[in-house]
């Protein structure tokens, strides 16, 4: 695994489906997956319930179908797919780059390609939003062209 990756690769918290009020945390580190839960209930038999935690290596998680089903039920199938890919060593390195480095790379793209890139993920949509894209450091296009491409009035003067 690449050493420049952060220790925590992915973290998500959520609440169980109604009527449950239980809270869950899923944490994927470089070496293991940690699944935590907190039982929230007004019933007296659950008042003394303590938080729980399961730790699995990436390899063990990929073989543990019971834990995978729990994660899919709580966080959804897309999260399960993403976590399975992380545990399988498939990282999305492009998503982990800093905004400044991404803007530097994006500055080499054609405007049409930038528009397509913005549709691939929420992160790229945020980074390629034209006010961030039209900075003095990364000004590859005129502000008018960028404004026309996104259909917005351009507040910058040329």
3-state helix, strand, coil in the chain (%, to 5): 40, 20, 40
Q: Which of 157, 130, 135 is nearest to 146 (CA)?
A: 130
Q: Give 8-39 pLDDT, tens digit per residue.
A: 889 999 998 878 889 999 999 999 999 999 98
Q: Give 124-148 pLDDT, tens digit per residue.
A: 888 887 665 555 444 544 444 455 5
Per-residue buried b or exposed e for 35-60, using 16+ beta carbons within 10 Å of the residue's own CB: bebebeeeeeeeeeeeeeeeebebee
Mean pLDDT score across all residues of the chain = 80
């Amino acid at each position: 695994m690449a050493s420049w990756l952060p220790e925590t690769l992915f973290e998500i918290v959520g609440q169980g489906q109604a009527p449950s009020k239980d809270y869950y945390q899923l944490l994927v580190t470089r070496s293991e997956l940690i699944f935590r839960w907190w039982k929230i209930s007004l019933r007296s038999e659950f008042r003394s319930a303590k938080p729980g935690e399961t730790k699995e290596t990436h390899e063990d998680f990929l073989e543990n179908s019971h834990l995978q089903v729990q994660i899919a039920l709580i966080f959804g199938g897309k999260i399960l797919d993403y976590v399975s890919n992380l545990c399988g060593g498939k990282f999305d390195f492009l998503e982990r780059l800093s905004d400044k480095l991404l803007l530097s790379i994006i500055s080499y793209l054609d405007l049409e390609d930038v528009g397509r890139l913005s549709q691939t993920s929420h992160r790229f949509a945020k980074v390629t939003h034209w006010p961030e894209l039209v900075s003095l450091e990364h000004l590859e296009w005129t502000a008018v062209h960028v404004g026309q491409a996104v259909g917005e009035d351009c507040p910058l003067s040329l």
